[in-house]
A and B are shown apart, each in its own frame.
Chain A
Amino acid sequence: MSRQLIAGVDIGNSSTEVAIVEVCGNEAVFLTQHLVPTTGIKGTVTNIKGIKSCLQLAMSKINRTISEINIVRINDAVPVIGDLAMDVISETIITESSMIGHNPDTPGGEGIGIGQTILIEQLLQHAEENKPYIVVVSKKFDYEWVAYQFNKFERQGIQIKGVIVQKDDGVLIHNRLQMKVPIVDEVAMIDKVPIGKKAAIEVAPPGHVIRMLSNPFGLSTVFDLTPEETKQVAPVAKSLVGNRSAVVIRTPAGQIAERKIESGSITMVGNRMSVKVDVNDGADEIMESYKKIGVLNDVQGEQGTNAGAMLNGLRQDLAEVTDQTIHEIRITDLLAVDTKIPSSIRGALAGEITMESGVGLASMVQTKKTSIQTVSSLLEKELGVSVEVGGIEAEMAIAGALTTPGTERPIVILDMGGGSTDAATNDENGTIRTVHLAGAGDMVTLLINTELSLHDLELAEKIKKYPLGKLQSLYHMQLEDGTYLFSEEPFPPEAFGKVVIREEKGITPLPIRHSMEQIRTIRREAKRKVFVTNAIRALEQVLPTHNIRHISFVVMLGGSALDFEIPEMINDELSKYGIVAGFANIRGTEGPRNAVATGLVLSTLKRRDDRI
């Protein structure tokens, strides 16, 4: 009997996987497999480059070449594609610079001081007795000189109630003062501090946060405000919460307004009804309304608002990649999540940021039937090997998943990839049902990137994939669960004292000041908001009864099932419904990867079975 080499190729949104098997009669032996990032949009000829290199790499693992392969089987990619959008729906603006709130590592002194702002050079020329001052010191003055002048002023009976310093020398000045006052340092944009205005300065003792200036009624006490004015300054207090030190300067025209950007509404058109939801009502409201409308046919955003712009942006992107006109794009699934987006406050003096509320949308559109035939014939030319298009993707995934020890039909699979969360079921009669939902690994990465304001998707991807550690000495770090890890070599100075990502091959220090706990919370919340929500949604939709209590086993597949905490989160949630969920172990060795590629090669065996 002749031996044949068969390759199964699975082209996904984010990765291309192959499995290569040697078939002799009805015996199949898996020889090798490999995975590369997908080149281009799935289901288009741009994929060929990635497929070819993936096959080459897989074959080189067993010291053979592509030309030895007899048949390549590729999957008929599902014609859906997703995209993401995220935007703020509120914004804090300070119309006149009037506050400084930040956490310098070492402010000077403690307590509250109230007075009129004045430059130190002005104070030298003209100072009034019995008038409280808050002195502003730019970086051109040395701390020794500044402290000397302050001590002299004090002897002259001039009242200095607090100091705002540009350089990092608050403690140095404070140590040399005879009369101790609170000092806020590291104020970068000191030239923007309004002079000749009433100001209040507060520094909290070590280990505490400010209490007076972060309380609206504290502000009204300090500045003697009317109830109407108190309402106006409330956003200032809000954005100072949690700081170690702060300055608030009252400028008569100074006003802070929390202005809601017209976030607009979206209209979801379903087969049963259409519902219009205000984006400001939040993600939960959007997802609740979605449940009522049945099968989603399209989503429209209100023109001239943020929601309209977001959805138009999505359409534009999707029209470009799928080569369709913007009017042909129909959104068939939508996932909305609430998010906190750190934004710099307009008019702030020390680069302060505030957490604005925002909304993230993932959407899925149907594309024209992918041109998989074009891909396969071009691939055949390129490789010089005969290429055939295998069966439906979901069927292949189920066939692959069933190679996991301990599984049997009927089976429910949950495929969590980069671009979409898919589910499929196969009952005893072989009837297959599938759903493809928007929002998966890429959305988690985007949420992490935004909420930590990293501006670096690669880094966000790493934070998603690996656990954290906090370096505590030259040789040891604390892990997320409180245990310690020791290193043979001292950690490099760039990483000392920082929160790091623990990759397999080393550590990457994070360039942000968040604590390990904060980063961990953001990471886990992002995963929960996307995957736990989508797991429930996918299962509800894929089951003929639409009740997830009617199943007892779920097999998780795909790249995100490899994640170190997503399967556990989903398992936790599904156990409430009495469901056992676990990630697949394809062929008993491959874990949750390679299901479709495995299914593709196995399906050739079945066809032979049928013929016999």
Chain B
Amino acid sequence: MKHTTVYIPIFLSESVDQLLVKEVCAGLEEEGVPFACKQISDEGFSFTSLQVSILIRNEHAISIFHEKLPNRPYLIERKQNGRRAGQNAARLVKGLPLFLEEEYDDRTEFRDS
């Protein structure tokens, strides 16, 4: 694929829950990385110059792929964690530490009293 634009593509199959897509987009927006939704074609999915792509298929968990590791997803997120999936894809581009299960919870809980 020709790298023409700078954004993270979100590849969707035809009947993915729109609320989930919105959450993933919110995660990307909060981290300030551009994104665009696309349909999964028969050829599968591709990468942009940001090298990270998100895949959301009907019956599957959310997968985040990196161009340098195209054969398996680098991260897999459950569908209830759409926001985090978006944030992590963005942070993968930015080179920042990812939010993983326990750590993420820490951030919203009370730390000290």
A-side residues, CB < 8 A to B, are 105-106, 139, 143, 166-172, 175, 186, 188-189, 344, 348, 350-351, 472-475, 490, 493-494, 496-498, 511
Contacts and interface: CB of A to CB of B under 8 A. Distances in A.
B30 A169 contact: yes
A474 B100 contact: no
Given A169-B30, A172-B29, A498-B97, A186 B74 contact: no
B91 interface: yes
B29 A188 contact: no
A351 B111 contact: yes
Given A472-B95, A496-B92, A497-B91, A171 B75 contact: no
B107 A497 contact: no
Contacts of A496: 92, 97-98
Interface string B102-113: 010001111111
Interface in B33-68: 66, 68
Nearest to A139: B108
Contact of A188 (B31, B97, B100, B109): B109
Given A105-B96, A472-B95, A188 B30 contact: no
A168 B68 contact: no
A182 to B, nearest CB: 16
A351 B95 contact: no
Nearest to A175: B29
Contacts of A189: 110-111, 113
B111 A474 contact: no
Given A143-B26, A168-B87, A511-B103, 19 more contacts: A106-B30, A167-B108, A168-B108, A169-B30, A170-B30, A171-B30, A175-B29, A186-B107, A188-B108, A348-B112, A473-B95, A474-B68, A490-B66, A493-B74, A493-B88, A496-B92, A496-B97, A497-B96, A497-B98
Interface string B75-101: 100000000000110011011111010
Contacts of A171: 29-32
B68 to A, nearest CB: 6
A525 B87 CA distance: 36
A5 to B, nearest CB: 53
A494 B107 CA distance: 16
25 contacts: A105-B31, A106-B30, A139-B108, A167-B108, A168-B30, A168-B87, A168-B108, A169-B26, A169-B30, A171-B31, A171-B32, A172-B29, A188-B109, A189-B110, A344-B111, A344-B112, A348-B112, A351-B111, A474-B68, A474-B74, A490-B68, A493-B98, A496-B92, A496-B97, A496-B98
